[in-house]
Amino acid sequence: MGCSDLEDFCIMKKTKCHGDHLSRLEFLTFWDLPRLEKISMDHLQNLRVLTVGRTYQLVDLSCILNLPYLEHLNVSCCDKMKQLVDIQNAIVTEGTYETPIQAFRQLRILQLNSLQSLNSLCNSELDFPSLEYIDVFACPKIKKLPLGKIGKLKRIRGEQTWWDNLEWDDESSSLSLLASFKSSGICSASFRPELDTTVISSSPKAFFTKRQPILNSSVRFTSYPQSIFETEEFDGHMMME
């Protein structure tokens, strides 16, 4: 069975077999997986770029809350996704206390495309201190941008009608972001802001060359997982522990 039948992708913990390889992973793609319903993963501490597309059964991407160094998130064509992350249910256990996960500290680029059911990024306001570029196309149900503090924002792109219909908690929030908005009726295949490195779509390894000159590792998870993880068989659920 190929990846087209994969329903559940899960990385539970490091092992001697996969731990070293996973810790070096920087680029990960889930693409054209029509039955995939859930992604769970920890210990991908160096993951910088995550692309998820054409995963029509996927409900949310709360797993990204466990990716502290994620810089570029690209999500498209996930018909059932109503919320990007569920922050209220995503917690980590630290000693005897449960504390909310600190996420999005390094996120620089957020791309959302053709997410017809998506009505919220998250169910709690979060800070995006490093966010520079936002791309939103064909996401008609997104009415609010609960972004919290975004001190480095340079550009928001999307349809003018979407922007005009956004709801704001106060007028000052709208005015502060208006200068960053650029109306566009065309959803580009790749977001090409003016960065100091080459954008991921043109060269995955080049995007973070200046930051990680040695650890350039990527996986495009679209077919034959056994060739990636040395797993010969699976029954619609892939778990690494």
What are the pLDDT digits (tens) for 195-232? 333 333 444 333 333 333 333 444 554 433 333 334 43
**Nearest CA-CA partner of 26 in 226, 194, 207:** 207
Name residue 111's beta-bridge partners: 74, 135
Q: Give the integer Cα–Cα distance in Å for 105 and 18.
A: 27
Q: Which residues pair with 9 in a beta bridge?
A: 39, 238
Q: What is the pTM of this model?
A: 0.74
pLDDT tens by residue, 59-107: 999 888 888 899 999 999 999 999 998 776 665 433 333 444 567 889 9
User: What are the structural domain ranges in the chain?
Assistant: 3-240
CB 237 within 8 A of CB 10: yes
d(CA 80, CA 69): 27
Q: What is the per-residue pLDDT across 122-173, written as a single tens digit (0 to 9) for each? A: 877 778 889 999 999 999 999 988 777 777 889 999 999 999 999 887 777 7
pLDDT at 228: 35
Average pLDDT, the chain: 73
CA-closest candidate to residue 78, choices 127, 111, 125, 124: 111
Q: What pLDDT was estimated at residue 197?
A: 34
What does the block give as tokens for 17? 């077999």
